[in-house]
Amino acid sequence: MDEPIPIEFQFTDEERNLAREEGFRRRRVNVDQGTEGRNNCEAEGDEALKMDLLGAAGEMAFASYFGMKNFLYTELRAKPGSIDLPPDIDVKTTDRHSNRLICQLDEAVEKRLVLVTIENMKTLIRGWRWVSECKRREWIKDPTGRRPAYFIPTVYLHSISTLAVAPPRYSLGVIDRRERFVYPRAASREFENWRVYWDERSRGIKEKK
């Protein structure tokens, strides 16, 4: 089985700075609120900051590639079962290109997980997989002895070119399955049409209130 070809992503200076600011913001919030480390990871110190910065950077890479930066960093505090981007995307970012996609044992099966790896200033969007496809007994590992999870080999990931993301109206809970999904960059014009729709619809909702 061949591993899917990853997408190498290059941050702009603005994207890098925004991701860095978000990573530091998350760390401040977690410290102020005494939040425990997610998934039994470090709760404070350099390692905790590293994880927050990595997470923010991975989400930025994915959102930028798919033209979804308007939907970035909308959650001010991490909550169990939350998603990173609509309608069901969770971005999992690690600091080694050799690492696998990690899926928690209690992850909601309706999510799609995307693996992003960042190492030596190189960012790769590796692939994706439905959570329902990740839950195989043979993939359960507990390398740190803190919390077991599913560790999915990258050869089992779907190519990122096959991942469709929903148009903005999904964020409003309006689902019309007759309408096309938006694919990466090749469909940037179509996404712009959705963005205009979203802006107009948002204004309409505010006026009704």
* HEC assignment per residue over 69-121: HHHCCCCCCCCCCCCCECCCEEEEEECCCCCCEEEECCCCCCCEEEEEEEECC
- Same domain, residue pair 135 and 184: no
Domain boundary among 162, 180, 200: 162
- Same domain, residue pair 145 and 173: no
- Same domain, residue pair 85 and 185: no
Predicted confidence at residue 197, as pLDDT, reads 43
Say how many residues make up the chain.
209
- Same domain, residue pair 143 and 192: no
* Span between the terminal Cα atoms of the chain, in Å: 54
- Same domain, residue pair 93 and 186: no
State the residue range of the domain holding 35: 7-162
Structural domain contains residue 198: yes
Q: How far, in Å, CA of 112 to CA of 60, rounded?
A: 17
SS3 122: strand
Predicted confidence at residue 144, as pLDDT, reads 85
Closest among 53, 83, 57, 54 to 71, alpha carbons compared: 83
Predicted confidence at residue 41, as pLDDT, reads 54
Structural domain contains residue 2: no
Q: What is the pTM of this model?
A: 0.77
Q: Tell me, what DSSP letter sits at residue 182?
A: B
Predicted confidence at residue 157, as pLDDT, reads 97
Structural domain contains residue 110: yes
Our CA angle for 21, 51, 94, nearest 5°, is: 115
SS3 200: helix
Structural domain contains residue 46: yes
List, for residues 78-113, the tens digit of each pLDDT value.
777 789 998 899 999 999 999 999 999 999 999 999
Structural domain contains residue 1: no
- Same domain, residue pair 12 and 81: yes
- Same domain, residue pair 185 and 155: no
State both tokens at 131. 């959570």
> Which regions in the chain score pLDDT beneath 70?
34-44, 166-209
Predicted confidence at residue 44, as pLDDT, reads 61
Q: Tell me, what DSSP letter sits at residue 2?
A: P
- Same domain, residue pair 190 and 103: no
Q: How many domains does the chain have?
A: 2
- Same domain, residue pair 62 and 158: yes
Structural domain contains residue 100: yes
